[in-house]
Amino acid sequence: MNGRLPVTTAYNESSTERIPGRSWTVRLTGHSDRTASVSCSTVACRMPPRSRNLAALRTFAAQHAAAHARAATIRPNASCHCRAQHCAAHQAKVRCAGGVVMILRHDPTVGREWTVEEVCESCAPLIAHATIVGRADRARSAATTKPAKKVPTPARSSVPTGFSSPSDPAAGDPPRRRRPRSGPRRPRRPRNGQGH
């Protein structure tokens, strides 16, 4: 051993090296007490409390998944997430090719899961119930001789539907933190049949 530290390289936007395609899943889960809850694969996302108002929770879940799709910058050098899942989302076998697209997948007949994924242009049209919601900027994916301009990025961009998305594509999900409540607590209203 020569005593040198290992060399590591950071993610660079102009890099042509493939990086794993990302995926976010928002799920609506029913419970035995006739309530339901919404969960997101991004741990830092704030979800509404369990509720019996299924329509409101379903609307929230759809909007939350769409907000993930809008907040994510599609990376031109992302590998196909569908291929990483052995193309289980479609029957026809194709070779992954083309640019990177962002899809939103939701089966309205089941209505319990919304998935946002970075996939290739070959897989996207074969995936059932998927809508292409964005494409990678091809100008960025072409190799250029000019060095990329350094632009400071904010630590995190806030999204109005209850989550924060990391701005660094190489960063993982931030740890979940509880925010202190502001102002005095309101007394809970008694539920039907539980009056004082």
> pLDDT tens digit string along 106-163?
998 888 999 999 999 999 999 999 999 999 886 544 443 344 344 343 344 333 345 4
Answering whether pTM is above 0.75, one says: no
**Any idea what the Cα angle at residue 99 is, between residues 139 and 63, rounded to 5°?**
95
Strand order in the sheet with 100-106: 36-40, 23-30, 113-120, 100-106, 130-135
